[in-house]
Amino acid sequence: MSTVTWITARGLFGRRRFLLLLPLPLVLLGLAILCRSLGVDPGEWGPPVLVGLGLAVVLPVVALIIGTGVLGAEIDDGTVVHILTKPLPRWQIVLPKLAVAAGVTAVTVAVPLYVAGVLADSVRLGLALAFAAALGALAYSALFLALSLVTRRPVLLGLVYVLIWEGLLGNFVSGTKVLSIQQYVIALADRLAPSGLLETSVSVPVASVMTALVSVGFTVLAIDRLRSFSVAGETS
Amino acid sequence: MSTLSLTGVSRWYGNVVAVNDISMALGPGVTGLLGPNGAGKTTLLHMMAGFLAPSRGTVTLDDEPTWRNPDVYRRLGLVSEREAVQGFLTAYEFVLASAKLHRLPDPAAAARRAIDLVELESAQDRRIGTYSKGMRQRARVAAALVHDPQVLLLDEPFNGMDPRQRLHMMQLLHTLGDAGRTILFSSHILEEVEQVSGTVQVMVAGRLAASGDFRTIRRLMTNRPHVFAVRSTNDRALAVALIAEPSVSGVELDPTGLTVRAGDYGAFTRALPRIALKQGIRVRQLVPSDESLESVFSYLVEA
């Protein structure tokens, strides 16, 4: 494991904000188990729990907390200087951090989604949801990591994207769905396991290409921004 | 041996000019960068360390720009002012992580050597979060020294240190300087840098105000006129006795006490107790009333 990965992981798990990650996946899991045990028709609880909660809230919010934490937290408290004063090409800083963010997000979200998918329909749907969520975790992490280098308020901007753009506008202006990671994830999951529970509005080729574009594009942006990262003078 | 050169360096934020047309070349030895708060010292250091692009001019380390060039960190170390350390690491882990990030051939040995150098071995296995400010500072210096850089930049390294730690740090900097390293530290407290030999650069309001041998500048500093507020059991009698003293250039008597202008800091502070004793006057208060850094620095600029 590289040193950057090690420091990032320790920084992530060593902070209390890591505990924020736990409730959302647990709620998702709890709701799925509850609905299943009460014998509710999966056609009724599947879409709101799997999509409305799992893919629209749990995945982006967990990705937001982690994605802005791996680098943004270090920028906030100034410890980023220690990593930046090393003769490392900047991609060697961004890629390990992205890997930690995407990996932790994927594990945190994919596991409850897998269980919920199995309970709603089949193992195939569970696997499809988990796999699509992992890809989504990568795209979201790249986006939020880049955001923490572009702005001083990455969490706020990230929330605006998730809640306003993906959550609100997506319902009224269908065109915005083409630029919505959430829609890519739904499209990919539905393609892998057609079940009738997931409603897609983006075609699978668009979703695949856009997921790749978002992941690569924002990673490249993050590397470039880190290359010309300015440390603002502290006023004392 | 490395040389850090600045040529016509300016940096502005919008309409505010933080650093104004500074040129200097830093060679081996210890150099102090002095100036009051807000003079632009940190901005200048950040440009030297490649953390900020100059708005105009160039900053080079051995003819390579420091901006957007991570390779300079093979030869350059920075101890920033902000006391930011991963508190959940022990000092040894922290310095070791630095050594590993530098890809040193034997990171463990390098980490131990650096911790040795700052005399932190007794506490190296404690979490940095439990350290005092001075210890934390030393841990950061150790991390910056782990790759044995040719150039070491320190922003306000003596902040929060007690006199003993300060002396030790100063000795460490001088040892490194004598070994041919280029050391630059900034400070806004003149008295902090008393033990420094070599050159100082004085920055006031973004400009390089004075530059040269420390002893010359130090003499200017100590010989400047000082103003003291004095209160005693018999102000009038004390005023009469004081005006006869060669080091005193003026005395003002008002209801709250005396305002004494002294030409020589040391001579006056030695003379006052002697005079008071001889006259049988008890001095109740002696306050230097014009010790603000800005006045000291502006005096330096005028001189």
pTM: 0.85
Chain A closest CA to B175's CA: distance in Å?
23
| Structure confidence at residue B294 as a pLDDT band (50, 70, 90) | low
Four-residue CA torsion sign, A55, A59, A61, A67: negative
Yes or no, beta carbons of B81 and A236 under 8 Å apart? yes
Yes or no, beta carbons of A228 and B18 under 8 Å apart? no
Q: So what's the pLDDT on residue B12?
A: 93
Q: Name which of A13-27, A59-73, A113-127, A144-158 the model is least confident about.
A: A13-27
Other C-beta atoms within 10 Å of A191: how many? 17
Per residue in A187-234, pLDDT (tens digit) is 999 999 998 888 888 999 999 999 999 999 999 999 999 999 987 644
3-state helix, strand, coil in chain B (%, to 5): 40, 30, 30
Per residue in A110-132, pLDDT (tens digit) is 999 999 999 999 999 999 999 99
Chain A, chain B: beta-carbon pairs less than 8 Å apart? 81
> CB-CB: which of B18, B37, B101 is closest to A86?
B101
Determine the Cα–Cα distance for residues A70 and A159; give it in Å rounded to an integer. Answer: 17
Q: Name which of A23-32, B271-280, B281-290 the model is least confident about.
A: B281-290
Determine the Cα–Cα distance for residues A163 and B248; give it in Å rounded to an integer. Answer: 73
> CB-CB: which of B38, B70, B78 is closest to A89?
B70
* Mutation site for B-interface testing, chosen from A77, A82, A228 by largest number of B Cβ within 10 Å: A82
Q: So what's the pLDDT on residue A201?
A: 84
Sequence ranges of chain B with CATH classification 3.40.50.300: 4-219
Yes or no, beta carbons of A234 and B82 under 8 Å apart? yes
Q: Say if CB B79 and CB B154 are below 8 A apart.
A: yes
Whether B293 shows a pLDDT value over 70: the answer reads no
ipTM confidence: 0.86
Q: So what's the pLDDT on residue A4?
A: 92
* Mutation site for A-interface testing, chosen from B82, B104, B155 by largest number of A Cβ within 10 Å: B82
Beta-strand runs (E) in chain B = 4-13, 16-26, 29-34, 56-61, 64-65, 76-79, 151-154, 182-187, 199-204, 207-213, 226-232, 248-254, 257-262, 283-288
On the 0-12 / 13-18 / 19+ scale of CB atoms within 10 A, B157 is: buried
- Mean pLDDT over each residue of chain A, to the nearest integer: 91
Q: So what's the pLDDT on residue B135?
A: 87
CB proximity A79 to B under 8 Å: yes
Fold of the CATH domain B223-302: Alpha-Beta Plaits (3.30.70)
> Which residues of chain B make contact with A86, given a CB cutoff of 8 A?
70, 73, 98, 101-102
Q: So what's the pLDDT on residue B24?
A: 94
Whole-number percent of chain B with pLDDT over 90? 55
Q: So what's the pLDDT on residue B291?
A: 57
- Mean pLDDT over each residue of chain B, to the nearest integer: 88
| Structure confidence at residue A236 as a pLDDT band (50, 70, 90) | very low
Comparing CA positions, the residue from A98, A132, A100 lying closest to residue A113 is A132
Sequence ranges of chain B with CATH classification 3.30.70.100: 223-302
| Structure confidence at residue B303 as a pLDDT band (50, 70, 90) | low
Q: So what's the pLDDT on residue A18?
A: 80
| Structure confidence at residue B20 as a pLDDT band (50, 70, 90) | very high
Q: Does domain B4-219 have CATH number 3.40.50.300?
A: yes
Per residue in B194-249, pLDDT (tens digit) is 666 678 888 888 999 888 887 777 667 666 778 888 999 999 999 999 999 998 98
